[in-house]
Amino acid sequence: MIRFWSYKRELKRYKKLINQKINKSLNSGQIFFGNELKEFEKKFINKYKSKYGVAVGSGTDALFISLKSLGIKKGDEVITAANTAIPTISAIRSTGAVPKLVDINDDYLINVSKIEKEITKKTKVIIPVHLYGQVCDMDEIIKISKHYRLKIIEDCAQSQGAKYKNRFCGTIGIFGCFSFYPTKILGTYGDGGFITTNDYSLYKKAKRIRFYGIETVDKNNKFLNKYYSNEDGINSRLDEIQASILNFKLTLIEKLIKRRRQLARLYFKELKSTDLILPKLNENSDHVYHLFTVRHRKREKIIKELKKHLIETKIIYPYPIHKMKTYRDYFKNHKRLKNSEIKAKEIFCLPIYPELKNSEVIKVCEKIKKILEKIN
């Protein structure tokens, strides 16, 4: 069986070290906001060249808290890509704002030439989603945001470590939002998320919002033990156990991304002679291959045949946002979202994770080649 994803091999390999980290944090006497969290926040921003960072409970919370820190509320509009993950939209909706969707390019990233059409007097924010591991065309998005005085929140949930013209994603917009959901580039063994920013007052605000709106330290960084809320906040903590696992896994991150790239290269090599449409690379960005997304008009057949040979694949995502009943009413501009609709019908993702073996990738490719010969 070739699993689409599993943490079991990773756990087997690093079990001793992960258990040591968990035990150490359990014995520290700190469950939240302890040394592991402080260390992780510091290491994450150092690695990704951001001035400030706030660890939170999930990637969804990272987006919600960032939007809330900018004062986004009912009556506002936020622009994003039609093919994004549901949580981008749920974060926007949780503020009361309305999402406005833009179609995508063949690289599955927002089509920047279509953003301006969606801008109205109510538009406040653009959320470029760096989907599958590649960064959007940020130069153009910055130009538009400057012209219309909009803020940019980067959705980096799938692209940790990817760069745009030598700048890490998450440092280009006013906020960068990351997810540590187990399947992600830096996955933990539970939920987690992160917000990066270079703006001190927004950092302080995001930090308050993650903890019921409470200011925890005074001007001299002295701990304030006061249950006093300075603003409307939520509870979105990253606990010490998760932070300790993340501290360990962050030391491996370059190795993990390198391995994903090796596997992607192997897929490209093995599949280049087929009519499967392989990932289109964006020349200004590198790719961290959170997912290896391919396309074929007969995808259902391919998926079914692969399953028969015990090879798992996944469609990420099968429905563009405007095709889901929950969100349908917000979008009257379906005709403008054709590319995301076509892509959603043809895409599927092949297994790619650091512990996957070369021989397994070769096996997947051989099976695909045979299936294509039969169905074409």
Binding footprint of ligand PLP on the chain (CB under 6 A):
58-60, 84-85, 87-88, 129, 155, 157-158, 179, 181, 191, 193
Q: What is the largest CA-CA distance in the chain?
A: 70
Q: 285 or 367, CB closer to ligand PLP?
A: 285
> How far apart are CB 49 and ligand PLP at their closest, in Å?
21
Q: 50 or 60, CB closer to ligand PLP?
A: 60
Calpha distance 355→182 (Å, rounded)? 14
Phi and psi torsions of 115, nearest 5° = -70, -45
For residue 372, how many other CB atoms are within 10 A of its CB?
19
For residue 104, how many other CB atoms are within 10 A of its CB?
26
> How far apart are CB 56 and ligand PLP at their closest, in Å?
9
> How far apart are CB 374 and ligand PLP at their closest, in Å?
33
Q: 174 or 271, CB closer to ligand PLP?
A: 174
Residue with tokens 């990704």: 48
Calpha distance 67→151 (Å, rounded)? 10
Calpha distance 126→115 (Å, rounded)? 9
> How far apart are CB 234 and ligand PLP at their closest, in Å?
13
**All residues at 6 or more sequence positions from 57 whose CB lies less than 8 Å from its CB, including other chains:** 191, 192, 193, 210, 235, 236, 237, 238
> How far apart are CB 85 and ligand PLP at their closest, in Å?
4
> In angstroms, how far is the first alpha carbon of the chain from the final one?
26
Calpha distance 104→336 (Å, rounded)? 10
Q: Which residue is nearest to ligand PLP (CB)?
A: 59
> How far apart are CB 290 and ligand PLP at their closest, in Å?
8
Task: Please tell me whether residue 315 adopts helix, strand or coil conformation.
Answer: coil
Nearest to 375 by CA among 315, 291, 274, 298: 298
Task: Give the bridge partners for 178, in sequence order.
Answer: 194
> How far apart are CB 115 and ligand PLP at their closest, in Å?
18
